[in-house]
Structure 1
Amino acid sequence: MTTASTTGVGLDVNDKSKDGLYKKVFWRIMPFLMLCYVIAYLDRVNVGFAKLQMSQDLGFSETVFGLGAGLFFIGYFLFEVPSNILMHKVGARIWIARIMITWGILSAAFMFVQNATQFYILRFLLGLAEAGFYPGIILYLTYWFPSHRRAKVIAVFMSGIPVAGILGNPLSGWIMDAFHQNGGLEGWQWMFLIEAIPAVLIGVATVLYLDNDVKSAKWLNDEEKASLQADIDGDAKGKESKHGFGAIVKDARVWLMCLIYFSFVMGQYGLTLWMPTLVKATGVKGNLEIGLLSAIPFGCAIIAMNLIGRSADRMRERRWHLVIPALMGGVGFVGAALFADNTAVSIASLSLAAAGVLTCAPLFWSLPTAFLSGAAAAVGIAAINSVGNLAGFVSPYLIGYLKDLTHNNATGMYMLAVMLVVGSIATLATKPGMVNK
């Protein structure tokens, strides 16, 4: 018979008594991690803004740009699992710092690109450098928060994506206009240089600020450490902990997660890498104006991500909290395709698309971390993120190819909508008991 202490009510009471402790942990690590992600995402997707000048200056076709933008994710794919395994062994503090400093240097190097080959090589190397950051942070959060508290936390962390859009798009547009041909450099060259500097500085700060786990946190007393560690250890019970790569590959649940994530990432990078181009296509002139209008959908995404993330944690339900935003994103992409020549309707449609697709990613990670823990989580999270992020290669390349083929953006938007429907169906194929925690 189940005792009162193990009922859902008992757990809720116990959880509420620890809210203050988890708020302490949250405010210690989450603002810093979110800042890191804002910088990471800005350096990853600012190439989409650079395209407004870079493609014309260097003679890049839409297909060339799409291929180069996507090659980032081939490097990402190859080094992601090894990177997460190394982080699990050497510790998050040193490894995350290494990632940030390396990608900052490579991002600045884009200012020297003169041809497609150099563009391809640097995008590939940037993917290698940054490969372990995102899955490393997802793994890192499992060291501090049990699974039923994680959707809200990951949603806050991933708010870095829309924040990067809100701040980064106008900033990129301003830099490109204000610094154009200063010192003999084009605006896009200045943009790559200036936006790379924070990554190196924050990378150095990571060594000084971040703790590897609960046990190494000097800002927690022994009682607080014991309470947090008991939650983490209890959360890991009953989850898969075998960490061999073969065991992960044979797990059908992992492959289902790969399909779901691949579908959602198709929408995410289709939106973030092509947003400036889509806004410009509505008739907007001026890089700063494009940046300001591009910020609106990201503002809507922040609201949706955090409201839906809180709802998912409160209700302890994951599947429908994923399916509904995915379908919202699909409707938004269709609207953007149908009203491509109307700026107001296009921005409204892109806002719906952004609210949907950017909400999917943080909620998605509550699924695999509900049945993976420890070293298995290190390998499993990286494997899922590696395969899923191949969509980051496929999405921009296909959109660029389809635009060259059809001379419009509509076909690419319809393709993204279909992929979000596929992800929704795959999400409903998961077993409720496996993910509703």
Structure 2
Amino acid sequence: MAFTSRPPTGLTEDQRMHRTVTRKIAWRIVPLLGIAYFMANLERANLGIASLSMNESLGLTAATYGLAAGLYFVGYFVFEVPSNMALTRFGARKWLARIAITWGLVATATCFVQGPVSLNLMRILLGIAEAGLFPGVVFYFTLWFLPRDRAKMLAFFVIGSSLSGMIGPPLSGAIMSAWPHALFGLEDWRALFIAEGLPSIVVGLVIWKVLVDRPDKARWLTAEQKTWLTTELAKHEAPARHGSPLRSLANPKILILSFSYFAKNCGGYVLVFFMPQIIKSINGDHLSTLVVSLLSAIPAAVTLVVSLLWAAHSDRRQERRWHAAIPMFVATAGVVLAAATSDPLLTMVGLILATAGVGSVGSSFFQLPSSFLTGPMVAVGIAAINATGNLGGFVGPYAFGVLEKSTGSFFAGNALLAALLAAGGLVILLPMFRSRTPDALGSGAVRTEVAGRRASGT
């Protein structure tokens, strides 16, 4: 693990250097970016808890609420690729800081919405502001970590999302429950947007101060460590390909991975935006906002543990396809279970399986593009997958809301999500993704390190 306090004995000098440099980089950049991702997910998803009183206040139906929740991803889709291209031009420090500051401003300003139209506008602007964060960090990690460490590091980064799902609902519920309605004349859900929006601006300023664009600019690495890291990264880089980075958008593998990620996000964001309502409905609508928010945190808590273990297993095995596909099938089973039962306990089990499944896909999934793309094409390719895939965050909640309104239950929406998740997992297993990857190129070094660790008893 990268966050151990002391390198184990019995390793070669190269293995010691790998452990030391990886640990130093991990502590420097991963926790800060994880906090940023926590705030981003908190502010895109707190609409779910806010909806428990906001929908009545603004006169929103299930369909209009689903539309507002999903419109975030329209702005995200349009600006995702341009944002990642800007990151490669201006550098991660400036661009990731800009992203955090602007989404904090928009999230805070959501407290002023007066109806469906203004809410829709703010959701689109929030998507525009945050566009580029996740794929930008994925690309940023390729500049700092060797391929064999990236899934684990990405999983540590994505802890921010899991913690948001675990801490966010109770935190949001507590803010709304404790807010005095007479204070400043603000309704509880309006106070929620202010309380959870302003801290992101501070996070953006810290990113501006702390991050470094590339290893050769890191004052906290020695000259020897910089040389070693640059040399090792060059060994594992995919063969260079010339031409415009935008050519990666037409790559069939990118298109297929985009569909898979679209399917994953259809399920994932329905869970984010509708889980509080599903939990409340299966318990007879008698649960308080705080209790619903606490129950909504349980699936995220399980996901936090499962996703880390699954990513570490992927790195140990140096296998990505099955480690991305299997969680999709687990999520499918969870959605089917939630749709097939009216028992509150079994429904919760289904929601836990579905959440853990979709939450464990990304760390292995996003190692696939760097196996056939290189340089700026990696950034653009990942951005294209994330942008197109995140349209699922629009289609999923909106379609789910429409189906719930037209049928009077969540069954039809769950059936649609199960079919999409299963298809998304199957396409990852296509033979075209068996290509020789940078991980495979480095497998000898991995085996050497593992052998050294076993010999030393560590």
- Partner residue, 2:357: 356
Q: 1:318 to 1:186 in 2, by over 3 A?
A: same
Work out the CA distance in 2 between the residues paired with 1:423 and 1:15: 37
Q: 1:241 to 1:215 in 2, by over 3 A?
A: farther
Q: What's the TM-score, normalizing by structure 1?
A: 0.94
Q: 1:319 to 1:287 in 2, by over 3 A?
A: same
Work out the CA distance in 1 between the residues paired with 2:267 and 2:23: 32
Residue 187 (str. 1) matches residue 193 (str. 2): no
Work out the CA distance in 2 between the residues paired with 1:71 and 1:202: 25
Give the aligned residue type for 1:157: F
**Does the 8 A contact of 1:265 with 1:392 survive in 2?**
yes
> How many matched pairs?
425
Work out the CA distance in 2 between the residues paired with 1:22 and 1:241: 30
| Residue range with higher mean Cα deviation, 232-241 or 295-304 | 232-241
Work out the CA distance in 1 between the residues paired with 2:295 and 2:151: 29
- Partner residue, 1:336: 338
**Does the 8 A contact of 1:243 with 1:379 survive in 2?**
no
- Partner residue, 2:290: 288
- Partner residue, 1:60: 60
Q: 1:335 to 1:110 in 2, by over 3 A?
A: same
Work out the CA distance in 2 between the residues paired with 1:135 and 1:91: 14
CA offset at residue 377 of structure 1? 1.1
- Partner residue, 2:271: 271
Q: 1:153 to 1:171 in 2, by over 3 A?
A: same
Q: 1:23 to 1:231 in 2, by over 3 A?
A: same
CA offset at residue 244 of structure 1? 3.2
- Partner residue, 2:34: 34
**Does the 8 A contact of 2:152 with 2:315 survive in 1?**
yes
| Helix, strand or coil at the partner of 2:360 | helix
- Partner residue, 1:308: 310
CA offset at residue 254 of structure 1? 1.2
Work out the CA distance in 2 between the residues paired with 1:148 and 1:273: 34
Q: 1:83 to 1:373 in 2, by over 3 A?
A: same
- Partner residue, 1:140: 140
- Partner residue, 2:198: 197
Work out the CA distance in 2 between the residues paired with 1:267 and 1:242: 36
| Helix, strand or coil at the partner of 1:331 | helix
CA offset at residue 294 of structure 1? 0.9
- Partner residue, 1:261: 261
Superposition pairs of residues 336-415 of structure 1, within 5 angstroms = 336-340=338-342, 342-415=343-416
Work out the CA distance in 2 between the residues paired with 1:328 and 1:413: 14
| Residue range with higher mean Cα deviation, 236-245 or 165-174 | 236-245
CA offset at residue 331 of structure 1? 0.8
- Partner residue, 2:447: none
CA offset at residue 44 of structure 1? 0.9
**Does the 8 A contact of 2:238 with 2:373 survive in 1?**
no
Give the aligned residue type for 2:387: S
Work out the CA distance in 2 between the residues paired with 1:358 and 1:239: 32
Give the aligned residue type for 1:40: A
Work out the CA distance in 1 between the residues paired with 2:413 and 2:256: 24
Work out the CA distance in 1 between the residues paired with 2:400 and 2:114: 23
CA offset at residue 215 of structure 1? 1.2
**Does the 8 A contact of 2:34 with 2:157 survive in 1?**
yes
Give the aligned residue type for 1:114: Q
Q: 1:417 to 1:17 in 2, by over 3 A?
A: same
Give the aligned residue type for 2:169: N
Superposition pairs of residues 43-54 of structure 1, within 5 angstroms = 43-54=43-54
Work out the CA distance in 2 between the residues paired with 1:250 and 1:330: 29
Superposition pairs of residues 96-135 of structure 1, within 5 angstroms = 96-135=96-135
Q: What's the TM-score, normalizing by structure 2?
A: 0.89
- Partner residue, 1:3: none
Give the aligned residue type for 2:227: A
CA offset at residue 220 of structure 1? 0.4
- Partner residue, 2:456: none
Give the aligned residue type for 1:19: R
Work out the CA distance in 2 between the residues paired with 1:239 and 1:367: 16
Give the aligned residue type for 1:179: W
- Partner residue, 1:419: 420
Work out the CA distance in 1 between the residues paired with 2:142 and 2:262: 22
Work out the CA distance in 2 between the residues paired with 1:13 and 1:288: 53
Work out the CA distance in 2 between the residues paired with 1:253 and 1:334: 29
**Does the 8 A contact of 1:239 with 1:370 survive in 2?**
no
- Partner residue, 1:5: none
**Does the 8 A contact of 1:147 with 1:370 survive in 2?**
no
Give the aligned residue type for 1:291: S
Work out the CA distance in 2 between the residues paired with 1:185 and 1:346: 35
- Partner residue, 2:321: 319
Give the aligned residue type for 1:308: W
Q: 1:241 to 1:202 in 2, by over 3 A?
A: farther
CA offset at residue 373 of structure 1? 2.2
Q: Mind listing any 5+ residue stretches in structure 1 that lack a counterpart?
A: 1-11
CA offset at residue 92 of structure 1? 0.7
**Does the 8 A contact of 1:138 with 1:154 survive in 2?**
yes
**Does the 8 A contact of 1:37 with 1:157 survive in 2?**
yes
Work out the CA distance in 2 between the residues paired with 1:423 and 1:16: 40
Q: Percent of aligned positions with the same letter in both sequences? A: 37
CA offset at residue 16 of structure 1? 6.4
Q: 1:393 to 1:336 in 2, by over 3 A?
A: same
Give the aligned residue type for 1:121: L
CA offset at residue 434 of structure 1? 4.2
Work out the CA distance in 1 between the residues paired with 2:396 and 2:13: 45
Q: 1:240 to 1:422 in 2, by over 3 A?
A: farther
Q: 1:282 to 1:240 in 2, by over 3 A?
A: farther
CA offsets per residue over residues 361-392 of structure 1, 9 Å max, x none? 22210111222221111211111111111111
CA offsets per residue over residues 70-92 of structure 1, 9 Å max, x none? 11111111111111111111111
